[in-house]
Protein backbone atom coordinates (compact mmCIF):
# COMPACT_ATOMS: atom_id res chain seq x y z
CA UNK A 1 0.00 0.00 0.00
CA UNK A 2 1.39 3.37 -0.83
CA UNK A 3 1.53 6.31 1.49
CA UNK A 4 -0.38 8.99 -0.27
CA UNK A 5 -2.22 12.08 0.66
CA UNK A 6 -4.20 14.73 -1.06
CA UNK A 7 -7.25 12.69 -2.06
CA UNK A 8 -9.16 15.50 -0.39
CA UNK A 9 -8.61 19.24 -0.63
CA UNK A 10 -7.11 21.24 2.17
CA UNK A 11 -9.58 23.93 3.17
CA UNK A 12 -9.76 26.57 5.84
CA UNK A 13 -13.53 26.89 5.78
CA UNK A 14 -14.54 29.34 8.45
CA UNK A 15 -13.53 31.89 11.00
CA UNK A 16 -13.63 29.14 13.61
CA UNK A 17 -11.11 26.98 11.75
CA UNK A 18 -8.94 30.02 11.23
CA UNK A 19 -8.97 30.55 14.99
CA UNK A 20 -8.06 26.89 15.56
CA UNK A 21 -5.24 27.22 13.02
CA UNK A 22 -3.61 29.72 15.30
CA UNK A 23 -2.40 26.72 17.31
CA UNK A 24 0.77 25.04 16.14
CA UNK A 25 -0.85 21.84 14.90
CA UNK A 26 -1.07 20.43 11.39
CA UNK A 27 -4.75 19.65 11.92
CA UNK A 28 -7.57 20.37 14.32
CA UNK A 29 -8.57 16.69 14.25
CA UNK A 30 -6.65 13.60 13.19
CA UNK A 31 -8.76 10.45 12.87
CA UNK A 32 -7.35 6.91 12.84
CA UNK A 33 -9.55 4.62 10.75
CA UNK A 34 -11.75 5.42 7.75
CA UNK A 35 -14.59 3.04 8.63
CA UNK A 36 -18.18 3.91 9.52
CA UNK A 37 -17.32 5.95 12.60
CA UNK A 38 -14.13 7.61 11.38
CA UNK A 39 -15.61 8.75 8.05
CA UNK A 40 -18.76 10.12 9.73
CA UNK A 41 -16.75 12.01 12.35
CA UNK A 42 -14.32 13.41 9.75
CA UNK A 43 -17.02 14.67 7.40
CA UNK A 44 -19.08 16.23 10.19
CA UNK A 45 -16.01 17.90 11.75
CA UNK A 46 -14.94 19.27 8.35
CA UNK A 47 -18.48 20.58 7.78
CA UNK A 48 -18.18 22.39 11.11
CA UNK A 49 -15.03 24.10 9.86
CA UNK A 50 -12.32 21.90 11.36
CA UNK A 51 -9.17 20.99 9.45
CA UNK A 52 -9.36 17.19 9.41
CA UNK A 53 -6.77 14.53 8.58
CA UNK A 54 -8.04 10.94 8.19
CA UNK A 55 -5.63 7.98 8.28
CA UNK A 56 -6.54 4.58 6.86
CA UNK A 57 -4.41 1.42 6.93
CA UNK A 58 -6.47 -0.44 4.33
CA UNK A 59 -9.32 0.71 2.10
CA UNK A 60 -11.79 3.45 2.92
CA UNK A 61 -15.17 2.12 4.09
CA UNK A 62 -14.12 -0.13 6.96
CA UNK A 63 -15.80 -3.30 8.11
CA UNK A 64 -19.38 -2.36 7.25
CA UNK A 65 -18.77 -1.56 3.60
CA UNK A 66 -15.93 -3.96 2.81
CA UNK A 67 -16.28 -6.96 5.17
CA UNK A 68 -19.57 -6.60 7.03
CA UNK A 69 -23.10 -5.26 6.68
CA UNK A 70 -23.11 -4.47 2.96
CA UNK A 71 -21.49 -7.59 1.44
CA UNK A 72 -23.32 -9.75 4.01
CA UNK A 73 -26.72 -8.28 3.11
CA UNK A 74 -26.02 -8.76 -0.61
CA UNK A 75 -25.29 -12.44 0.02
CA UNK A 76 -28.48 -12.66 2.13
CA UNK A 77 -30.47 -11.27 -0.82
CA UNK A 78 -28.65 -13.59 -3.22
CA UNK A 79 -29.35 -16.74 -1.22
CA UNK A 80 -32.97 -15.75 -0.47
CA UNK A 81 -33.98 -16.51 -4.07
CA UNK A 82 -34.00 -20.20 -3.19
CA UNK A 83 -36.94 -19.60 -0.83
CA UNK A 84 -38.65 -17.30 -3.34
CA UNK A 85 -38.35 -19.86 -6.13
CA UNK A 86 -39.64 -22.65 -3.89
CA UNK A 87 -42.52 -20.49 -2.63
CA UNK A 88 -43.50 -19.50 -6.19
CA UNK A 89 -44.76 -23.01 -6.94
CA UNK A 90 -47.71 -22.57 -4.57
CA UNK A 91 -48.73 -19.49 -6.58
CA UNK A 92 -48.84 -21.39 -9.87
CA UNK A 93 -45.33 -20.72 -11.11
CA UNK A 94 -43.47 -23.55 -12.68
CA UNK A 95 -39.72 -23.13 -12.61
CA UNK A 96 -38.14 -26.18 -14.24
CA UNK A 97 -34.67 -25.84 -12.76
CA UNK A 98 -32.72 -23.15 -11.02
CA UNK A 99 -29.19 -23.09 -9.71
CA UNK A 100 -26.96 -20.58 -8.00
CA UNK A 101 -23.61 -19.63 -9.53
CA UNK A 102 -21.94 -18.57 -6.28
CA UNK A 103 -18.89 -17.10 -8.00
CA UNK A 104 -21.14 -14.78 -10.04
CA UNK A 105 -22.89 -13.65 -6.85
CA UNK A 106 -19.53 -12.95 -5.17
CA UNK A 107 -18.29 -11.05 -8.23
CA UNK A 108 -21.46 -8.91 -8.33
CA UNK A 109 -21.11 -8.25 -4.61
CA UNK A 110 -17.46 -7.21 -5.12
CA UNK A 111 -18.45 -4.76 -7.87
CA UNK A 112 -20.95 -3.09 -5.54
CA UNK A 113 -18.45 -2.94 -2.67
CA UNK A 114 -15.88 -1.34 -5.02
CA UNK A 115 -18.48 1.17 -6.21
CA UNK A 116 -19.23 2.14 -2.61
CA UNK A 117 -15.52 2.47 -1.85
CA UNK A 118 -15.36 5.00 -4.72
CA UNK A 119 -18.39 6.85 -3.37
CA UNK A 120 -16.71 7.13 0.03
CA UNK A 121 -13.49 8.46 -1.51
CA UNK A 122 -15.45 11.08 -3.43
CA UNK A 123 -17.49 12.11 -0.39
CA UNK A 124 -14.31 12.61 1.61
CA UNK A 125 -12.65 14.61 -1.16
CA UNK A 126 -15.76 16.78 -1.55
CA UNK A 127 -15.89 17.47 2.16
CA UNK A 128 -12.29 18.69 2.28
CA UNK A 129 -11.00 15.92 4.53
CA UNK A 130 -7.29 15.25 3.98
CA UNK A 131 -6.79 11.50 3.51
CA UNK A 132 -3.58 9.60 4.32
CA UNK A 133 -2.99 5.90 3.65
CA UNK A 134 -0.81 3.93 6.08
CA UNK A 135 -0.73 2.56 9.61
CA UNK A 136 -1.32 5.28 12.20
CA UNK A 137 0.36 5.07 15.60
CA UNK A 138 0.29 7.58 18.44
CA UNK A 139 3.68 9.00 19.40
CA UNK A 140 2.21 11.26 22.08
CA UNK A 141 -1.13 12.89 22.84
CA UNK A 142 -0.88 15.21 19.83
CA UNK A 143 1.35 13.35 17.36
CA UNK A 144 0.60 10.44 15.04
CA UNK A 145 3.16 8.61 12.94
CA UNK A 146 1.89 7.17 9.67
CA UNK A 147 3.81 4.23 8.29
CA UNK A 148 3.20 3.21 4.70
CA UNK A 149 5.07 1.56 1.87
CA UNK A 150 6.49 4.89 0.80
CA UNK A 151 7.97 5.66 4.23
CA UNK A 152 6.69 7.36 7.33
CA UNK A 153 5.64 10.83 8.34
CA UNK A 154 4.47 12.52 11.52
CA UNK A 155 1.44 14.76 11.85
CA UNK A 156 0.14 16.72 14.80
CA UNK A 157 -3.38 17.66 15.81
CA UNK A 158 -5.15 19.42 18.60
CA UNK A 159 -7.54 16.46 18.96
CA UNK A 160 -7.09 12.78 18.06
CA UNK A 161 -9.91 10.34 17.39
CA UNK A 162 -9.35 6.57 17.46
CA UNK A 163 -11.84 4.73 15.22
CA UNK A 164 -9.88 1.59 14.41
CA UNK A 165 -12.73 -0.95 14.61
CA UNK A 166 -12.40 -4.63 15.51
CA UNK A 167 -11.19 -7.94 14.05
CA UNK A 168 -12.51 -11.50 14.19
CA UNK A 169 -11.29 -13.85 16.94
CA UNK A 170 -10.49 -17.52 16.42
CA UNK A 171 -10.60 -19.78 19.48
CA UNK A 172 -7.20 -20.90 20.83
CA UNK A 173 -7.46 -24.55 19.74
CA UNK A 174 -5.24 -26.75 17.61
CA UNK A 175 -6.05 -26.34 13.93
CA UNK A 176 -7.80 -22.97 14.35
CA UNK A 177 -5.90 -21.73 11.30
CA UNK A 178 -7.63 -24.41 9.18
CA UNK A 179 -10.90 -22.56 9.61
CA UNK A 180 -11.97 -19.22 8.17
CA UNK A 181 -13.67 -16.13 9.61
CA UNK A 182 -16.37 -13.87 8.19
CA UNK A 183 -13.67 -11.91 6.33
CA UNK A 184 -12.98 -14.90 4.08
CA UNK A 185 -16.54 -16.30 4.15
CA UNK A 186 -17.77 -13.23 2.30
CA UNK A 187 -15.47 -13.94 -0.62
CA UNK A 188 -15.37 -17.75 -0.89
CA UNK A 189 -14.54 -18.66 -4.49
CA UNK A 190 -16.96 -21.60 -4.36
CA UNK A 191 -19.41 -23.19 -1.96
CA UNK A 192 -18.51 -26.20 0.19
CA UNK A 193 -20.89 -29.17 0.36
CA UNK A 194 -20.85 -29.06 4.17
CA UNK A 195 -19.95 -26.30 6.63
CA UNK A 196 -19.48 -26.26 10.39
CA UNK A 197 -20.13 -22.86 11.92
CA UNK A 198 -18.67 -22.33 15.38
CA UNK A 199 -20.62 -19.69 17.33
CA UNK A 200 -24.27 -18.76 17.54
CA UNK A 201 -24.12 -14.95 17.58
CA UNK A 202 -25.02 -12.51 14.80
CA UNK A 203 -22.43 -13.75 12.30
CA UNK A 204 -22.97 -17.47 13.00
CA UNK A 205 -26.74 -17.18 12.52
CA UNK A 206 -26.49 -14.95 9.45
CA UNK A 207 -24.04 -17.27 7.69
CA UNK A 208 -26.09 -20.33 8.68
CA UNK A 209 -28.93 -18.64 6.77
CA UNK A 210 -26.81 -17.69 3.75
CA UNK A 211 -25.13 -21.08 3.44
CA UNK A 212 -28.22 -23.21 4.07
CA UNK A 213 -30.25 -21.26 1.52
CA UNK A 214 -27.38 -21.62 -0.94
CA UNK A 215 -27.64 -25.39 -0.54
CA UNK A 216 -24.81 -26.08 1.92
CA UNK A 217 -25.35 -28.65 4.70
CA UNK A 218 -24.83 -26.56 7.84
CA UNK A 219 -23.95 -27.69 11.38
CA UNK A 220 -23.68 -25.02 14.05
CA UNK A 221 -21.67 -25.67 17.21
CA UNK A 222 -22.78 -23.63 20.24
CA UNK A 223 -20.96 -23.47 23.53
CA UNK A 224 -24.16 -22.51 25.39
CA UNK A 225 -27.69 -23.90 25.19
CA UNK A 226 -28.94 -21.93 22.20
CA UNK A 227 -28.18 -19.33 19.53
CA UNK A 228 -28.28 -15.55 20.08
CA UNK A 229 -27.55 -15.25 23.79
CA UNK A 230 -28.88 -11.94 25.10
CA UNK A 231 -31.97 -11.81 22.87
CA UNK A 232 -35.49 -12.54 24.19
CA UNK A 233 -35.64 -16.21 25.29
CA UNK A 234 -38.94 -16.93 23.52
CA UNK A 235 -37.55 -15.62 20.22
CA UNK A 236 -34.35 -17.61 20.68
CA UNK A 237 -36.35 -20.82 21.19
CA UNK A 238 -38.58 -20.08 18.19
CA UNK A 239 -35.52 -19.27 16.08
CA UNK A 240 -33.86 -22.58 16.94
CA UNK A 241 -37.01 -24.42 15.77
CA UNK A 242 -36.97 -22.49 12.49
CA UNK A 243 -33.26 -23.30 12.02
CA UNK A 244 -33.84 -27.00 12.62
CA UNK A 245 -36.86 -26.99 10.28
CA UNK A 246 -34.64 -25.74 7.50
CA UNK A 247 -32.11 -28.50 8.14
CA UNK A 248 -29.49 -26.62 10.15
CA UNK A 249 -28.07 -29.07 12.70
CA UNK A 250 -27.60 -27.26 16.02
CA UNK A 251 -25.07 -28.73 18.48
CA UNK A 252 -25.72 -26.89 21.78
CA UNK A 253 -23.56 -27.07 24.94
CA UNK A 254 -20.55 -28.27 22.96
CA UNK A 255 -16.93 -27.31 23.26
CA UNK A 256 -14.79 -27.55 20.17
CA UNK A 257 -11.41 -29.17 20.92
CA UNK A 258 -9.60 -29.17 17.59
CA UNK A 259 -9.86 -28.94 13.82
CA UNK A 260 -7.83 -31.57 12.00
CA UNK A 261 -7.23 -32.42 8.35
CA UNK A 262 -8.45 -35.87 7.36
CA UNK A 263 -9.78 -37.76 4.34
CA UNK A 264 -13.33 -38.80 3.52
CA UNK A 265 -13.82 -41.15 0.57
CA UNK A 266 -10.41 -40.09 -0.75
CA UNK A 267 -11.18 -36.36 -0.49
CA UNK A 268 -9.30 -33.96 1.78
CA UNK A 269 -11.75 -32.72 4.42
CA UNK A 270 -11.71 -31.35 7.96
CA UNK A 271 -12.65 -33.08 11.19
CA UNK A 272 -14.04 -30.99 14.05
CA UNK A 273 -13.44 -32.75 17.38
CA UNK A 274 -15.93 -31.98 20.15
CA UNK A 275 -15.51 -32.37 23.92
CA UNK A 276 -18.23 -35.06 24.18
CA UNK A 277 -16.03 -37.40 22.12
CA UNK A 278 -17.95 -36.99 18.86
CA UNK A 279 -16.65 -35.36 15.72
CA UNK A 280 -18.07 -33.67 12.63
CA UNK A 281 -16.70 -34.16 9.13
CA UNK A 282 -16.88 -31.05 7.02
CA UNK A 283 -15.45 -29.19 4.03
CA UNK A 284 -15.30 -25.81 5.74
CA UNK A 285 -15.10 -24.47 9.30
CA UNK A 286 -16.26 -20.91 9.92
CA UNK A 287 -15.29 -19.35 13.23
CA UNK A 288 -17.98 -16.83 14.18
CA UNK A 289 -16.72 -16.53 17.72
CA UNK A 290 -16.77 -12.81 18.33
CA UNK A 291 -14.51 -9.87 17.57
CA UNK A 292 -11.67 -8.10 19.40
CA UNK A 293 -11.25 -4.30 19.46
CA UNK A 294 -8.30 -3.14 17.31
CA UNK A 295 -6.22 -1.53 20.05
CA UNK A 296 -2.77 -3.05 19.64
CA UNK A 297 0.23 -1.36 18.01
CA UNK A 298 -1.52 2.01 18.19
CA UNK A 299 0.80 3.55 20.83
CA UNK A 300 -2.17 3.94 23.17
CA UNK A 301 -0.25 3.07 26.33
CA UNK A 302 2.55 5.49 25.38
CA UNK A 303 0.00 8.27 24.94
CA UNK A 304 -1.63 7.39 28.29
CA UNK A 305 -4.94 6.06 26.88
CA UNK A 306 -6.51 3.59 29.35
CA UNK A 307 -7.87 0.25 28.14
CA UNK A 308 -10.19 -2.32 29.71
CA UNK A 309 -8.82 -5.82 30.38
CA UNK A 310 -5.65 -7.20 31.90
CA UNK A 311 -2.36 -5.34 31.28
CA UNK A 312 -1.02 -8.30 29.27
CA UNK A 313 -4.30 -8.62 27.30
CA UNK A 314 -5.76 -5.15 26.92
CA UNK A 315 -8.93 -4.80 24.93
CA UNK A 316 -11.40 -1.95 24.46
CA UNK A 317 -10.64 1.73 24.96
CA UNK A 318 -12.36 3.19 28.04
CA UNK A 319 -14.43 6.26 27.19
CA UNK A 320 -16.87 8.70 28.80
CA UNK A 321 -20.44 9.03 27.43
CA UNK A 322 -19.04 11.78 25.16
CA UNK A 323 -16.42 9.26 23.87
CA UNK A 324 -13.47 10.99 25.55
CA UNK A 325 -10.65 8.67 26.64
CA UNK A 326 -8.53 9.00 29.76
CA UNK A 327 -6.50 11.62 27.86
CA UNK A 328 -8.29 14.98 27.64
CA UNK A 329 -7.79 15.61 23.90
CA UNK A 330 -8.08 11.99 22.65
CA UNK A 331 -11.46 10.50 21.75
CA UNK A 332 -12.47 6.99 20.65
CA UNK A 333 -15.59 5.66 18.93
CA UNK A 334 -17.07 2.54 17.38
CA UNK A 335 -16.01 -1.07 17.79
CA UNK A 336 -12.64 -0.19 19.37
CA UNK A 337 -14.62 1.00 22.42
CA UNK A 338 -16.79 -2.17 22.45
CA UNK A 339 -20.01 -0.47 23.55
CA UNK A 340 -22.67 -1.46 21.01
CA UNK A 341 -20.86 -2.75 17.95
CA UNK A 342 -23.19 -1.66 15.17
CA UNK A 343 -22.59 0.64 12.21
CA UNK A 344 -25.24 3.29 12.99
CA UNK A 345 -23.92 3.48 16.54
CA UNK A 346 -20.34 4.11 15.35
CA UNK A 347 -21.67 6.80 12.99
CA UNK A 348 -23.74 8.46 15.74
CA UNK A 349 -20.76 8.39 18.13
CA UNK A 350 -18.52 9.92 15.44
CA UNK A 351 -20.94 12.75 14.68
CA UNK A 352 -21.39 13.36 18.41
CA UNK A 353 -17.63 13.80 18.84
CA UNK A 354 -17.60 16.33 15.98
CA UNK A 355 -20.49 18.24 17.59
CA UNK A 356 -18.74 18.17 20.97
CA UNK A 357 -15.37 19.40 19.67
CA UNK A 358 -16.32 21.76 16.83
CA UNK A 359 -20.05 22.45 17.16
CA UNK A 360 -20.07 23.85 20.67
CA UNK A 361 -22.54 21.12 21.69
CA UNK A 362 -21.21 18.47 24.11
CA UNK A 363 -23.10 15.39 22.91
CA UNK A 364 -23.41 11.95 24.47
CA UNK A 365 -25.00 9.02 22.65
CA UNK A 366 -27.86 7.19 24.32
CA UNK A 367 -27.18 3.50 23.73
CA UNK A 368 -30.64 2.46 24.97
CA UNK A 369 -33.44 1.42 22.64
CA UNK A 370 -31.17 0.97 19.64
CA UNK A 371 -32.90 -1.35 17.16
CA UNK A 372 -30.90 -4.33 15.96
CA UNK A 373 -31.47 -7.17 13.51
CA UNK A 374 -30.01 -10.56 12.72
CA UNK A 375 -30.39 -11.12 8.99
CA UNK A 376 -30.70 -14.89 9.20
CA UNK A 377 -33.30 -17.21 7.73
CA UNK A 378 -35.77 -15.91 8.83
CA UNK A 379 -34.60 -12.52 10.10
CA UNK A 380 -35.05 -11.44 13.71
CA UNK A 381 -35.19 -7.85 14.96
CA UNK A 382 -35.51 -6.24 18.36
CA UNK A 383 -35.73 -2.87 20.00
CA UNK A 384 -35.79 -2.22 23.73
CA UNK A 385 -35.87 -4.75 26.52
CA UNK A 386 -36.37 -8.50 26.24
CA UNK A 387 -39.01 -10.01 28.52
CA UNK A 388 -36.27 -11.19 30.87
CA UNK A 389 -34.58 -7.78 31.02
CA UNK A 390 -37.93 -6.01 31.49
CA UNK A 391 -38.91 -8.29 34.40
CA UNK A 392 -35.50 -7.85 36.01
CA UNK A 393 -35.75 -4.07 35.78
CA UNK A 394 -39.47 -3.39 36.30
CA UNK A 395 -40.78 -6.48 38.10
CA UNK A 396 -44.31 -6.81 36.77
CA UNK A 397 -44.73 -6.30 33.05
CA UNK A 398 -47.45 -7.15 30.54
CA UNK A 399 -46.35 -9.40 27.70
CA UNK A 400 -48.29 -9.61 24.44
CA UNK A 401 -47.42 -12.37 21.98
CA UNK A 402 -48.75 -13.43 18.61
CA UNK A 403 -47.46 -16.37 16.62
CA UNK A 404 -49.04 -16.88 13.25
CA UNK A 405 -48.61 -18.37 9.81
CA UNK A 406 -47.81 -15.53 7.38
CA UNK A 407 -50.50 -15.12 4.72
CA UNK A 408 -48.00 -15.77 1.91
CA UNK A 409 -47.29 -19.24 3.23
CA UNK A 410 -50.95 -20.30 3.24
CA UNK A 411 -50.34 -20.76 -0.51
CA UNK A 412 -46.60 -21.46 -0.61
CA UNK A 413 -47.01 -24.23 1.93
CA UNK A 414 -43.77 -23.29 3.69
CA UNK A 415 -43.88 -24.47 7.28
CA UNK A 416 -42.85 -21.33 9.12
CA UNK A 417 -44.38 -19.10 11.79
CA UNK A 418 -43.90 -15.41 12.47
CA UNK A 419 -43.50 -14.45 16.14
CA UNK A 420 -44.14 -10.96 17.40
CA UNK A 421 -43.84 -9.83 20.98
CA UNK A 422 -44.49 -6.58 22.80
CA UNK A 423 -43.56 -5.89 26.42
CA UNK A 424 -45.23 -3.04 28.34
CA UNK A 425 -44.66 -1.63 31.80
CA UNK A 426 -47.61 -2.55 34.00
CA UNK A 427 -49.51 0.53 35.13
CA UNK A 428 -48.09 3.18 32.79
CA UNK A 429 -48.41 0.91 29.77
CA UNK A 430 -45.16 2.31 28.34
CA UNK A 431 -43.85 -0.03 25.66
CA UNK A 432 -40.47 -1.36 26.81
CA UNK A 433 -39.64 -3.70 23.96
CA UNK A 434 -40.80 -4.94 20.56
CA UNK A 435 -39.42 -8.11 19.01
CA UNK A 436 -40.14 -9.99 15.82
CA UNK A 437 -38.97 -13.17 14.13
CA UNK A 438 -40.13 -13.43 10.55
CA UNK A 439 -40.07 -11.87 7.09
CA UNK A 440 -39.53 -8.09 7.10
CA UNK A 441 -38.81 -8.01 10.84
CA UNK A 442 -35.88 -5.54 10.43
CA UNK A 443 -38.00 -3.12 8.35
CA UNK A 444 -40.89 -3.25 10.82
CA UNK A 445 -38.84 -2.95 14.00
CA UNK A 446 -36.89 0.04 12.61
CA UNK A 447 -40.20 1.95 12.34
CA UNK A 448 -41.36 0.83 15.79
CA UNK A 449 -38.07 2.08 17.26
CA UNK A 450 -39.34 5.62 16.68
CA UNK A 451 -42.45 4.91 18.76
CA UNK A 452 -40.36 3.44 21.57
CA UNK A 453 -37.95 6.38 21.45
CA UNK A 454 -41.00 8.68 21.84
CA UNK A 455 -42.16 6.72 24.90
CA UNK A 456 -45.30 5.32 23.23
CA UNK A 457 -47.76 3.38 25.39
CA UNK A 458 -49.67 0.21 24.64
CA UNK A 459 -52.87 2.30 24.56
CA UNK A 460 -51.36 4.40 21.77
CA UNK A 461 -50.43 1.27 19.84
CA UNK A 462 -54.07 0.10 20.32
CA UNK A 463 -55.42 3.45 19.10
CA UNK A 464 -53.42 3.14 15.87
CA UNK A 465 -55.58 1.80 13.07
CA UNK A 466 -54.06 -1.22 11.35
CA UNK A 467 -52.64 -1.26 7.84
CA UNK A 468 -54.19 -4.38 6.39
CA UNK A 469 -53.17 -6.98 5.31
CA UNK A 470 -49.64 -6.86 6.72
CA UNK A 471 -47.63 -8.69 9.34
CA UNK A 472 -46.81 -5.33 10.94
CA UNK A 473 -50.47 -4.70 11.81
CA UNK A 474 -50.23 -7.44 14.44
CA UNK A 475 -48.29 -4.97 16.61
CA UNK A 476 -51.40 -2.76 16.90
CA UNK A 477 -53.86 -5.65 17.21
CA UNK A 478 -52.46 -7.30 20.34
CA UNK A 479 -55.37 -7.38 22.80
CA UNK A 480 -54.86 -9.57 25.87
CA UNK A 481 -51.59 -9.83 27.76
CA UNK A 482 -50.33 -13.35 28.20
CA UNK A 483 -51.47 -14.94 31.46
CA UNK A 484 -48.54 -15.08 33.88
CA UNK A 485 -47.06 -18.56 34.21
CA UNK A 486 -45.81 -19.70 37.66
CA UNK A 487 -42.26 -18.71 36.58
CA UNK A 488 -43.45 -15.20 35.83
CA UNK A 489 -45.89 -14.52 38.66
P1 LIG B 1 -14.55 -0.14 11.11
O2 LIG B 1 -15.67 0.09 10.19
O3 LIG B 1 -14.06 -1.53 11.26
O4 LIG B 1 -13.36 0.80 10.65
C5 LIG B 1 -12.10 0.76 11.25
C6 LIG B 1 -11.07 1.18 10.23
O7 LIG B 1 -9.85 1.47 10.90
C8 LIG B 1 -10.74 0.09 9.22
O9 LIG B 1 -10.89 0.60 7.90
C10 LIG B 1 -9.29 -0.27 9.51
O11 LIG B 1 -8.56 -0.62 8.34
C12 LIG B 1 -8.77 1.04 10.09
N13 LIG B 1 -7.60 0.92 10.97
C14 LIG B 1 -7.40 0.04 11.98
N15 LIG B 1 -6.23 0.30 12.59
C16 LIG B 1 -5.69 1.37 11.96
C17 LIG B 1 -4.49 2.12 12.13
N18 LIG B 1 -3.62 1.83 13.12
N19 LIG B 1 -4.25 3.16 11.30
C20 LIG B 1 -5.13 3.48 10.31
N21 LIG B 1 -6.27 2.80 10.11
C22 LIG B 1 -6.55 1.77 10.93
N23 LIG B 1 -23.48 -3.73 11.93
C24 LIG B 1 -24.73 -3.32 11.65
O25 LIG B 1 -25.19 -2.30 12.17
N26 LIG B 1 -25.53 -4.03 10.79
C27 LIG B 1 -25.09 -5.15 10.16
O28 LIG B 1 -25.83 -5.76 9.39
C29 LIG B 1 -23.77 -5.58 10.43
N30 LIG B 1 -23.29 -6.68 9.82
C31 LIG B 1 -22.01 -7.06 10.06
C32 LIG B 1 -21.54 -8.21 9.42
C33 LIG B 1 -20.26 -8.65 9.66
C34 LIG B 1 -19.77 -9.90 8.95
C35 LIG B 1 -19.42 -7.93 10.54
C36 LIG B 1 -18.01 -8.39 10.79
C37 LIG B 1 -19.87 -6.80 11.19
C38 LIG B 1 -21.17 -6.35 10.96
N39 LIG B 1 -21.69 -5.24 11.59
C40 LIG B 1 -22.97 -4.83 11.34
C41 LIG B 1 -20.87 -4.46 12.55
C42 LIG B 1 -20.30 -3.20 11.88
O43 LIG B 1 -19.66 -3.56 10.67
C44 LIG B 1 -19.31 -2.51 12.81
O45 LIG B 1 -19.92 -2.29 14.06
C46 LIG B 1 -18.85 -1.18 12.24
O47 LIG B 1 -18.25 -1.33 10.97
C48 LIG B 1 -17.83 -0.52 13.19
O49 LIG B 1 -17.39 0.69 12.65
P50 LIG B 1 -16.00 1.32 13.14
O51 LIG B 1 -15.91 2.66 12.50
O52 LIG B 1 -15.91 1.25 14.61
O53 LIG B 1 -14.87 0.37 12.59
P1 LIG C 1 -21.19 -12.38 18.84
O2 LIG C 1 -20.62 -11.84 20.09
O3 LIG C 1 -22.51 -11.91 18.38
O4 LIG C 1 -21.30 -13.97 18.97
C5 LIG C 1 -20.16 -14.76 19.25
C6 LIG C 1 -20.60 -16.20 19.36
O7 LIG C 1 -19.45 -17.02 19.47
C8 LIG C 1 -21.46 -16.48 20.58
O9 LIG C 1 -22.41 -17.46 20.22
C10 LIG C 1 -20.45 -17.03 21.58
O11 LIG C 1 -21.03 -17.90 22.51
C12 LIG C 1 -19.53 -17.81 20.66
N13 LIG C 1 -18.18 -17.99 21.14
C14 LIG C 1 -17.33 -17.04 21.60
N15 LIG C 1 -16.14 -17.58 21.90
C16 LIG C 1 -16.24 -18.90 21.63
C17 LIG C 1 -15.36 -20.00 21.75
N18 LIG C 1 -14.12 -19.84 22.20
N19 LIG C 1 -15.80 -21.22 21.40
C20 LIG C 1 -17.08 -21.37 20.95
N21 LIG C 1 -17.96 -20.38 20.80
C22 LIG C 1 -17.54 -19.16 21.15
O23 LIG C 1 -20.07 -12.17 17.74
P24 LIG C 1 -20.08 -12.31 16.17
O25 LIG C 1 -18.72 -12.74 15.82
O26 LIG C 1 -21.24 -13.11 15.70
O27 LIG C 1 -20.31 -10.80 15.72
C28 LIG C 1 -19.49 -9.76 16.26
C29 LIG C 1 -20.27 -8.51 16.44
O30 LIG C 1 -20.44 -7.85 15.18
C31 LIG C 1 -21.69 -8.69 16.96
O32 LIG C 1 -21.72 -8.81 18.34
C33 LIG C 1 -22.37 -7.43 16.47
O34 LIG C 1 -22.11 -6.39 17.37
C35 LIG C 1 -21.68 -7.17 15.15
N36 LIG C 1 -22.49 -7.72 14.05
C37 LIG C 1 -23.73 -7.18 13.82
C38 LIG C 1 -24.53 -7.68 12.83
C39 LIG C 1 -25.88 -7.08 12.61
O40 LIG C 1 -26.14 -6.00 13.10
N41 LIG C 1 -26.77 -7.74 11.86
C42 LIG C 1 -24.12 -8.79 11.99
C43 LIG C 1 -22.80 -9.29 12.32
C44 LIG C 1 -22.03 -8.77 13.31
P45 LIG C 1 -21.81 -17.36 23.81
O46 LIG C 1 -23.16 -16.96 23.35
O47 LIG C 1 -21.82 -18.54 24.71
O48 LIG C 1 -21.00 -16.21 24.33
Q: What residues line ligand 2, using a CB cutoff of 6 Å?
A: 171, 198-204, 206, 223-224, 229, 256, 288-291, 341-342, 372-375
The tens digit of pLDDT for each residue in 54-96 reads 999 999 999 999 999 999 999 999 999 999 999 999 999 999 9
Query: Could you say which ligand is closest to the alpha carbon of residue 138?
Result: 1
For the stretch 357-393, pLDDT in tens is 999 999 999 999 999 999 999 999 999 999 999 999 9
Ligand 2 centroid vs 200 CA: distance in angstroms? 6
Count how many Cα atoms sit within 13 Å of the Cα of residue 434 in the half-sphere of its side chain.
28
Nearest-ligand number for the alpha carbon of 251: 2
Q: Are 2 and 133 in contact (CB under 8 A)?
A: yes
> What pLDDT is attached to residue 5?
42
pLDDT at 487: 57
Query: pLDDT at position 290, please?
Result: 96
The ligand 2 atom at the shortest distance from the C-alpha of residue 230 is 46
Pocket of ligand 1 (CB under 6 A): 32-38, 55-58, 62-64, 67-69, 72, 135-136, 163-165, 182, 203, 294, 298, 334-335, 341-344, 346
Question: For position 486, what pLDDT does the model report?
Answer: 59
Exactly one of 142, 368, 468, 488 is catalytic; name it.
468
Low-confidence ranges of the chain (pLDDT < 50): 1-22, 489
Residue owning the nearest CA to atom 22 of ligand 2: 289
Does residue 488 have an active-site annotation?
A: no
Determine the distance separating the centroid of ligand 1 and the alpha carbon of 67, expressed in angstroms: 8
Omega before 469 within 30 of 0, i.e. cis: yes
Nearest to 186 by CA among 36, 258, 79: 79
Predicted local distance difference test score (pLDDT) of residue 172: 96
The pTM score is 0.94
Amino acid sequence: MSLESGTGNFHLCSARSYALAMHDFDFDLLVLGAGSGGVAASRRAAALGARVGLIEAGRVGGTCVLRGCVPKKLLVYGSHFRDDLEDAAGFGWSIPSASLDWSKLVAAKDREVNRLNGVYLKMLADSGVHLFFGWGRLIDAHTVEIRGEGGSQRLTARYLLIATGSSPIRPAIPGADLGITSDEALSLPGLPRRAVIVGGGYIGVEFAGIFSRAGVEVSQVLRCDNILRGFDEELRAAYASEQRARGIALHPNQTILAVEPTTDGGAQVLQVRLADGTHLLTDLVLFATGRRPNTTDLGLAEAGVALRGAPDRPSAIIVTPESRTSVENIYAIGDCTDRLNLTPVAIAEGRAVAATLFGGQPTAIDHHNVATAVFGAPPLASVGLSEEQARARYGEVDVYVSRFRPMKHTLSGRDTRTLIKLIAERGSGRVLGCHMLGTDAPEIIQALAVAIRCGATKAQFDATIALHPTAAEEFVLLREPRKPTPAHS
